Homo-oligomer: A and B are copies of this chain.
Amino acid sequence: MNPQTPRERARAQTIADIIRLGRQQLVNHGAAALSLRAVARDLGVVSSAVYRYVANRDELLTLLLVDAYDELGDEVDAAVVSVPEDDHAGRFAALARAVRRWALREPARYSLLFGSPVPGYQAPAERTTEPGTRVIYAITGILDASYRAGAMAAGPEAAVPLPSALSADLEAIRSELGLAIPNGLLARGALVWTSLFGAVSFEVFGQYGADTFAARDELYEHHLQVLQALAGLV
């Protein structure tokens, strides 16, 4: 943790530089064009030298994955806490807007996180699970807080019986996260989660087409309203 030897400090600095340059390259040229050789060039070093710091291209990808997840998580968290704790719908909207804002500002990095998996690359779960689950944890946190506060709209969803295997999954999630929210609302939360990222992905990945939707801010805000209601928030 504390930089003991100067060599260790230099090494940490070099790794940080590699991540910085890799991120820069990701932003400018996209994920598939991410090249260790180019990073080496920018670093002013021969290509084989970077292998002293990064085992291979996949590990650099993992570092950039964690880096991006953390930045997204930080911005989402900051957006959420900027809204009063008891305004659950407002917190949800702030979260959703933060996700979209980051995605539109960082399309290449968003693609890395939520787009097609890079072929042949399997993200190591032990390093990416924790930063990669921050947003969904934030969503469930908001929903759970809303439920605990008695602010959940009691829609007809409680009446719909859930199949047993799905109930078991949801039960496991509830107990692992210590949630009070019932299964029906949690299942809705999962749908809201996927819908949120589905809308953002369609926009970032260009699925809307060039000129079908000009009023994309308004479209997203409209979707947010519907999703808030769907989640049972106020």
Could you say which residues of chain B place their CB within 8 Å of the CB of A213?
Answer: 169, 190
> Which chain B positions have C-beta within 8 A of A198?
194-199, 201-202
* B32 pairs with A119, CB closer than 8 A: yes
Across-interface contacts of A166 in B (CB, < 8 A): 215, 218-219, 222
A189 to B205, alpha carbons, bound, how many Å?
Answer: 19
Can you list 22 A-B contacts (CB < 8 A)? A29-B120, A31-B119, A32-B32, A33-B120, A108-B119, A111-B115, A114-B201, A117-B205, A117-B206, A129-B209, A133-B209, A160-B225, A165-B215, A166-B218, A168-B214, A187-B219, A191-B222, A191-B227, A196-B198, A197-B198, A201-B201, A230-B230
Measured CB to CB, the residues of A under 8 A from B are 29-33, 108, 111-112, 114-120, 125, 129, 133, 157, 160, 162-163, 165-166, 168-169, 173, 187-188, 190-191, 194-199, 201-202, 205-207, 209-210, 212-215, 218-219, 221-223, 225-227, 230
Report yes or no: A188 in contact with B116, Cβ–Cβ below 8 A: no
Residues of B within 8 Å of A29, CB to CB, are: 119-120
Distance (Å) between the CB of A167 and the closest chain B CB?
8
A216: shortest Cβ distance to chain B, in Å? 9
Given A33-B119, A168-B215, A194-B202, 17 further pairs, Cβ under 8 A: A32-B120, A160-B225, A162-B218, A163-B221, A165-B214, A165-B218, A166-B222, A168-B214, A169-B219, A173-B212, A190-B213, A191-B195, A191-B222, A191-B227, A194-B195, A195-B198, A197-B201
Residues of B within 8 A of A188 (CB): 226
A205 to B116 alpha-carbon distance, docked (Å): 6
Main secondary structure of the interface of A (DSSP, over half): helix
Q: How far is the CA of A188 from the CA of B221 in the complex (A)?
A: 12
Number of copies: 2
Please give the distance in Å from A227's CB to the nearest CB on chain B: 8
Give chain B nearest CB distance to A206 CB in angstroms. Answer: 6
The chain B residue with its CB closest to the CB of A192 is B195
A169-B212, A197-B198 are contacts. A116–B111 as well, Cβ < 8 Å? yes
